[in-house]
Amino acid sequence: DAPLRDLAAAKGKVVGTAVSGGKLNGTYADIASGQFSSVTPDNAMKWGSVEPSRGSYNWAEADQIVAFAQAHNQQVRGHTLVWHSQNPNWLTNGSWTAAQLRTVLQDHITTEVTRYKGKLAAWDVVNEAFNEDGTYRSTIWYDNLGSDYIAQALTTARAADPSAKLYINDYNVEGVNAKSTALYNLVKSLKDRGVPIDGVGLQAHLILGQVPTDIQKNIQRFADLGVDVAITELDIRMQLPYTDAKGAQQKADYKNVASACAAVTRCVSLTVWGFTDSDSWVPDVFSGYGAATPYNESFAPKPAYYGIAEAFGGS
Ligand code: G3I
């Protein structure tokens, strides 16, 4: 069978996976490079990873992943510049004036985006800015800088690397709901104001049997605003144990999501948040749940894998 990356390419799409630098050898590396045309560092580019103490940078894992991608003719999605989570303690515990914080944020974005200038296809510039009801999430950024931190972050990122596509990324925004509508209204207003925004990332951390029925409609409404859409962190978790019946449902669910992307020209990429069940965040966070990815723990493709393949025209 043709690898996913070839199937996706034939449809004009990119198919990606989150990766961990420390695992990029052996079978894990073979699948990551053979099947996928894009990689997203799962943690390596987060602020707490790259600048654990102020002014002291650690780029080793991020550099490693970028080099791996270049060696295998893959894109890289940078993840993520502005978030409320996985920030270094010096930032979280610091006491800052708004002016100081604005400068710290600008410096961070400029430093990191400049380091990978010309090498990344896209950046998740702002991650998880909204609450479920569509209000802005209370974070160090929103609480101190107001909602304009988003426009400032995008503008700073554009100046540092004009060639990277700039995204806002969030979860529970796959269907039409209060949160995705708030995101839609934000993107619309950014476009109206001339703020640089190229795309919307739908994380898509989904639950078995619960793919929103209006996912394609939702992707289309963002596309109609004049931005790209990316499925950025797809996984579909189930209550363990895995059974053949759940595997069949999971295949249908993966196929649904990938088909929705395949059907919309401006849905440019689909990335899974780890390709193997041995490398998934799900069991650590949702007790009793797992088996959320397209490959099992022994690196064998599951029905879910074939759900993606079929959506991209394979078998
Ligand atoms: O590196 C430390 C290690 O030194 C320590 O011994 C170990 C003990 O718990 O923790 C390790 O850090 C963990 C880190 O992953 C690296 O493995 C953190 O505890 C753990 O919280 C962290 O989880 C990451 C999570 O983001 C944090 O929110 C997941 O790997 C990562 O997949 C996940 O990714 C997020 C996206 O960035 C945003 N969208 C949701 C998605 C899933 O939560």
Give the per-residue pLDDT at 305: 98
Please state the atom number of ligand 1 nearest to the C-alpha of residue 85. Answer: 28
Q: In terms of DSSP H, where are the helices of 86-237? A: 89-92, 98-115, 140-145, 149-160, 178-193, 215-223
Give the per-residue pLDDT at 231: 98
- 315 Cα–ligand 1 center, Å: 34
Residue 216 has pLDDT above 90, yes or no: yes
Best residue among 20, 40, 43 to mutate for probing ligand 1's pocket (most ligand atoms within 8 Å of CB) is 43
Element (H, E) at 267: strand 267-272
Element (H, E) at 285: helix 282-285
Is 233 assigned a catalytic role? Answer: yes
Best residue among 86, 170, 173, 293 to mutate for probing ligand 1's pocket (most ligand atoms within 8 Å of CB) is 86
Determine if ligand 1 sits within 6 Å of the CB of residue 235. no
- 43 Cα–ligand 1 center, Å: 7
C-alpha–C-alpha distance, residues 49 and 59, integer Å: 8
Average pLDDT value for residue range 218-240: 98
Q: Whose CA is nearest to atom 15 of ligand 1?
A: 43
Q: Whose CA is nearest to atom 30 of ligand 1?
A: 281
Give the per-residue pLDDT at 249: 98
Q: Whose CA is nearest to atom 12 of ligand 1?
A: 43
* 69-79 pLDDT per residue, tens: 999 999 999 99
Residue 91 has pLDDT above 90, yes or no: yes
Under a CB-based contact definition with an 8 Å cutoff, are residues 144 and 101 in contact? Answer: yes
Mean pLDDT of the chain: 98
In three-state secondary structure terms, 146 is coil
In three-state secondary structure terms, 251 is helix
Give the per-residue pLDDT at 151: 98
Residue 66 has pLDDT above 90, yes or no: yes
Determine if ligand 1 sits within 6 Å of the CB of residue 203. yes
Give the per-residue pLDDT at 1: 86
- 86 Cα–ligand 1 center, Å: 8
Please give the ipTM for the structure prediction: 0.94
Residue 143 has pLDDT above 90, yes or no: yes
Average pLDDT value for residue range 120-143: 98
Confidence of residue 101 (pLDDT cuts 50, 70, 90): very high
The count of other CB atoms within 10 Å of the CB of residue 45 is: 26
* 168-180 pLDDT per residue, tens: 999 999 999 999 9
Give the per-residue pLDDT at 193: 98
Under a CB-based contact definition with an 8 Å cutoff, are residues 253 and 292 in contact? Answer: no
Give the per-residue pLDDT at 292: 98
* 12-52 pLDDT per residue, tens: 999 999 999 999 999 999 999 999 999 999 999 999 999 99
Predicted structure pTM score: 0.98
Confidence of residue 59 (pLDDT cuts 50, 70, 90): very high
Choose which CATH entry (3.40.1110.10, 3.20.20.80, 3.40.50.150, 3.30.70.260) describes domain 4-311: 3.20.20.80
Q: Phi and psi dihedrals of 234, rounded to 5?
A: -60, 130
Please state the atom number of ligand 1 nearest to the C-alpha of residue 274. Answer: 32
Residue 259 has pLDDT above 90, yes or no: yes
Percent of the chain past pLDDT 90, that is, above it, reads: 99
- Is the alpha carbon torsion for 19, 22, 23, 26 positive or negative? positive
